[in-house]
Structure 1
Amino acid sequence: MDLSSRKVEIFGIILRLSLVSAVSFLGVKWLMKHLDPTAKNKQNAKEIAEKRLKRIAKNGKSVAIDKLNEYELMIAAQLIHPDDISITWKDIAGLDDVITELREEIILPIMRRDLFEHSILSLPPKGILLYGPPGCGKTLIAKATAKEAGMNFINLDVSCLTDKWYGESQKLAAALFTLADKIQPCIIFIDEIDSFLRDRSTNDHEATAMMKAQFMSWWDGLITDPKSSIIIMGATNRPRDLDRAILRRMPAAFNIGLPRTPQREQVLKLILSKEPKEENIDFHQLAVQTDGFSCSDLMEMCRSAAVYRVKDFLNLEKTKKGDEVFYDTLRPIAMGDLLYAAEKVRSAKMLCGSFHLQTSLDVE
């Protein structure tokens, strides 16, 4: 075999090996894409993210979608424009002191940066902790703050920061902050923050520990940048489970406790303000009767009271022989409905033990 024939043979072998390698690579890539159970969710998240980022661009904030990486697009799927938030301060009752402090410490410095540009001490904190028993309005306060300040709102689902591939979680944690920097002013809200940033221990998985470290490292960058308009807001009913390093980064802490009697009266008036009810409703008596109830308990009580009207409507609408009776509207909510519903909710809370849990919750 001459030299030229040998060269042709070697070239053919190299060509075949290259084709086999290319086909194998494309085949493995195709399998990973179609066998990945989260691939469809990731694609849907990217489509949602593009729509929401375009909405921000239309409102004066220029966001180059084509320059965002895939991790930032996945985080952007949880982005909410302030105009799309329906919760306002008017929808929150019994927390006037907390609302006043938030307006003074957070909202005014964000909306009027020109008043505080020469004072570092007057800048809003980069971390805010809302703590207290469940069902007392912590999430509502976070959304209303973003609405009032006109800040973009990332309602972070912590599960989106976890990935089965090593190193991906750190990239997602970094993408959270790089995206927030591009769309600021922005609030990153983490509900049940204790489940994500709880006290670290040697039993933590290596990937989880690295993700927490990455998260706190980027957070430090926000704290040291006075020009940053990014705030991390967390909510928890177990503040003592949080890592001390996290508590240090959240200097502004607000206790959203169980409503007292005057607060419960305000909450009940707000819930029933647009509902048909009898004029003899004694809100003060209801507030006294619902001692230990959270705001969500009061909402459930009013819902149950409204359902009793439906039961009466169905009972009265029964047809008798030769005498048909029809009713076109539901009767208004009566005081008796509310008192009966209060006892029903109290019994349910006592049965499951949540009543004692809420009234003795260890918060400071």
Structure 2
Amino acid sequence: MDGVTRGEVLGLVVRLAAVTTLSYFTMKILVDALDPTKKQKIAAQKRAQQILSSLGIPSDINLTEYELLIASQLVDPSTITVGFEDIAGLEQIVTELRQTVILPIQKRDLFCSSALMSAPKGVLLHGPPGCGKTMIAKATAREAGARFLNLDISSLTDKWYGESQKLAGAVFTLATKIQPCIIFIDEIDSLLRVRDQHDHEATAMIKAQFMQLWDGLTTDNSCTVLVMGATNRPNDVDKAILRRMPATFRVGLPSAEQRRSILTTVLRMEVISDCVDTWRLAKLTEGFSGSDLRELCRSAAVCRVYQLKEDQEKLDPINMEDLLTALAKMRESKIECGGSIPRPPDLD
């Protein structure tokens, strides 16, 4: 290295370090700009801060980055528009929920000294689709005045190894910090299905983390956090999960009396004709779920639009003919889609 001074070597090293540092930060900025999840995470954190502020949660509660991402799925119970008065035909389930879930949450200061009197840490709602499981969960959160975490399963998955477990842990740490809180998981079988040797490693670790933290809730009687799940296939849910959900409610297809109650509830805000016979409709709609009955009423209401005259300024009341026409269309569409709704004899 004849002719090369020590200062030149040092300057070369400094320039090389500067170029390397500049290249690193340039690549980092490019990767962040090309990463679609980066902007989503930033937006989720901003939305979470707005929700936390609207819920009146003290600002001195420090939340981690992962807890903020989960907090973006919080729902203010006062903004939930569904109440028990909107759920028809499920009076027995509503009564049991009031006694086993809502009362212990509302009177948690009174019941915290007893492990037997506290609210269950897990509630499972199962039954055919469209029978009101999600409505029951929302109405329970509203009635109890608890924070409602409507957990999106996709929010627990991340492309980086180990991040999913941190997000799963943040679900429970966040719920504990803002208790009382209800963690609602719709289609819980898709996340916590029966474990087998073919499970992906990341999925298996999420399940293990979820169950471990869930067990931690049972050791603290003063912790008012419960997990509420809904599923159409309870047999696909892991047995270890079912053990953690001692309060189980089956929300089945409504009976004739329940169908009449649902029809009456749905039509109560509409102008209907005196000829509408809800009892006859209830008998004609055997095998219909609650959502099917609501769609029947909606379709009947739309039928009036087709009969609207040019000079007519008000819609006619919903009559029996509109409802029967809508029922015939629904039966036809069910048959075309491979449905198996039984067809009772017409009751003229």
TM range (shorter): over 0.9
Aligned to 1:262: 257
**Structure 2 gaps, min length 5:** 343-348
Aligned to 2:346: none
State the distance in 2 between where 1:114 and 1:227 align. 8
Q: Is the 8 A contact 2:286 2:341 kept in 1?
A: no
Deviation string for 1:185-213 (max 9, x for gaps)? 00110000111111111111111111111
**Structure 1 gaps, min length 5:** 318-325, 358-364
Q: CA RMSD in A?
A: 1.8
State the distance in 1 between where 2:316 and 2:32 align. 57
Deviation string for 1:2-34 (max 9, x for gaps)? 9x942x344324322331232122122212210
State the distance in 1 between where 2:65 and 2:340 align. 45
Aligned to 2:345: none
Aligned to 1:44: 43
Aligned to 1:348: 333
Q: What amino acid sits opposite 1:25 in the alignment?
A: Y
**Alignment partner of 1:333 is 2:321:** no
Q: Given the alignment, which residue of 216, 222, 228 partners 1:227?
A: 222
* % identical aligned pairs: 56
Deviation string for 1:82-140 (max 9, x for gaps)? 11111111111110000000000001011112332332111111010000000000000
Q: Is the 8 A contact 1:56 1:62 kept in 2?
A: no
Deviation, structure 1 residue 293 = 0.2
State the distance in 2 between where 1:115 and 1:72 align. 29
Q: Is the 8 A contact 1:110 1:229 kept in 2?
A: yes
Aligned to 2:23: 24
State the distance in 1 between where 2:52 and 2:157 align. 23
Q: What amino acid sits opposite 2:146 in the alignment?
A: M
State the distance in 1 between where 2:194 and 2:99 align. 31
Structure-2 change in CA distance of 1:341 and 1:267 (3 Å): same
Report 1:234-273 matches (<5 A). 234-273=229-268
Structure-2 change in CA distance of 1:183 and 1:114 (3 Å): closer
Q: Secondary structure at the match of 2:55?
A: helix
**Alignment partner of 1:141 is 2:136:** yes
State the distance in 2 between where 1:245 and 1:29 align. 42
TM-score, normalised relative to structure 2: 0.94
Aligned to 1:320: none
State the distance in 2 between where 1:24 and 1:225 align. 51
Q: Given the alignment, which residue of 99, 107, 113 partners 2:108?
A: 113
Deviation, structure 1 residue 176 = 1.1
**Alignment partner of 1:190 is 2:185:** yes
Q: Is the 8 A contact 1:128 1:252 kept in 2?
A: yes
TM-score, normalised relative to structure 1: 0.90
**Alignment partner of 1:176 is 2:174:** no
Q: Given the alignment, which residue of 209, 212, 224 partners 2:207?
A: 212
More displaced stretch, 165-174 vs 140-149: 165-174
State the distance in 1 between where 2:143 and 2:87 align. 13
More displaced stretch, 252-261 vs 70-79: 70-79
Deviation string for 1:160-195 (max 9, x for gaps)? 110111111111111111111111100110000111
Aligned to 1:53: 52
Report 1:118-129 matches (<5 A). 118-129=113-124
State the distance in 1 between where 2:76 and 2:179 align. 11
Q: Secondary structure at the match of 1:253?
A: strand
Deviation, structure 1 residue 347 = 2.3
Aligned to 1:323: none
Q: Is the 8 A contact 1:63 1:182 kept in 2?
A: no
Q: Secondary structure at the match of 2:229?
A: strand
Q: What amino acid sits opposite 2:14 in the alignment?
A: L
Report 1:5-16 matches (<5 A). 5-6=5-6, 8-16=7-15
Q: What amino acid sits opposite 1:196 in the alignment?
A: L
Q: What amino acid sits opposite 1:275 in the alignment?
A: E
Q: Is the 8 A contact 2:147 2:181 kept in 1?
A: yes
Q: Secondary structure at the match of 2:340?
A: helix
Aligned to 2:302: 307
Structure-2 change in CA distance of 1:226 and 1:10 (3 Å): farther
